[in-house]
């Protein structure tokens, strides 16, 4: 196969994604409705705790634009959750699909993309819940929200590269599962999810900027909450990061995949 699996196996990819999403909620009474209920309930909990109980107020961000703290946290969390789900699921993707590995005609590199697409579905639902929350609270939605897909696109490329790399590496090194779990937990606190970059002490600011997740969270928040168009430099950074990680992850996956059948 000369190109990405998504380009040559669109129908198969679509069928696998639908099956993956349905499988997540199969057996539950409410089924796919949980995809909506989960972010709604989570958003309500954040609003109750941070806005009503603690009455937390953000410092002046985004040129003084009023931003609900619950919405601020939720916007960072849905980006983080997408990252964490891919990082923690990737180590088992190939092991869980051993039957596909031994099928020569099946594009095994599609498996990480299917997991990513299913996770992206949950992200889209959460994004819709966030937008509705902002409207209900009267915070409003800036036209810059239309730029959010331009931020998420390189983020998906970044995650695809991570998924390919981690899933392939874990076939040969079992410790990757534990490393991925620690990384996912650590990144929740080492990324500006619960706090703004302005709150980071100057000595640690540059270190925070070495974290790729920081760039995606900040760019996403700027578009959705701040009504601010990210500058050319932030856009270049997230696209370069996304493309580099995606290409590296894909090439690594293709390089080591011939040995999957022997190891598994």
pLDDT digits (tens, 9 = 90+) for 11-30: 889 999 999 999 988 887 88
Least confident of 29-38, 61-70, 167-176: 61-70
Domain presence at residue 264: no
Domain presence at residue 245: yes
Residue 196 half-sphere exposure toward CB, CA atoms < 13 A: 17
* Widest distance between CA atoms in the chain: 59
Does the pLDDT at position 203 exceed 60? yes
Domain presence at residue 40: yes
**Number of structural domains the chain divides into:** 1
Domain presence at residue 263: no
pLDDT of residue 138: 73
CB atoms within 10 A of CB 55: 8
Domain presence at residue 262: no
Domain presence at residue 41: yes
**Which tens digits make up the pLDDT trace of 225-241?**
888 888 899 999 999 99
Residue 128 half-sphere exposure toward CB, CA atoms < 13 A: 10
Domain extent for 170: 5-257
């Amino acid at each position: 196969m000369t190109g990405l699996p998504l380009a040559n196996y669109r129908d198969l990819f679509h069928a696998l994604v639908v099956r993956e999403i349905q499988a997540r909620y199969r057996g539950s009474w409410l089924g796919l409705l949980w995809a909506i209920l989960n972010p709604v309930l989570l958003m309500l909990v954040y609003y109750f705790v941070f806005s009503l109980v603690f009455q937390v107020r953000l410092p002046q961000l985004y040129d003084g634009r009023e931003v609900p703290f619950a919405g601020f946290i939720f916007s960072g969390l849905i980006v983080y959750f997408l990252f964490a789900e891919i990082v923690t699921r990737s180590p088992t993707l190939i092991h869980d699909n051993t039957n596909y590995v031994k099928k020569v005609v099946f594009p095994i590199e599609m498996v990480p993309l299917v997991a990513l697409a299913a996770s992206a579905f949950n992200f889209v639902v959460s994004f819709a819940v966030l937008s509705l929350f902002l409207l209900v609270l009267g915070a409003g939605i800036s036209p810059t929200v239309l730029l959010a897909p331009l931020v998420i696109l390189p983020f998906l490329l970044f995650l695809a590269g991570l998924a390919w790399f981690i899933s392939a590496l874990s076939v040969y090194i079992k410790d990757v599962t534990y490393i991925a779990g620690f990384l996912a937990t650590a990144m929740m606190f080492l990324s500006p999810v619960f706090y703004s970059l302005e709150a980071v002490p100057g000595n640690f600011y540059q270190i925070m900027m070495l974290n790729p997740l920081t760039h995606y969270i900040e760019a996403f928040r700027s578009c959705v909450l701040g009504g601010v168009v990210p500058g050319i430099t932030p856009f270049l950074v997230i696209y370069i990061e996304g493309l580099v990680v995606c290409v590296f992850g894909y090439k690594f996956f293709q390089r080591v995949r011939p040995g999957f059948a022997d190891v598994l």
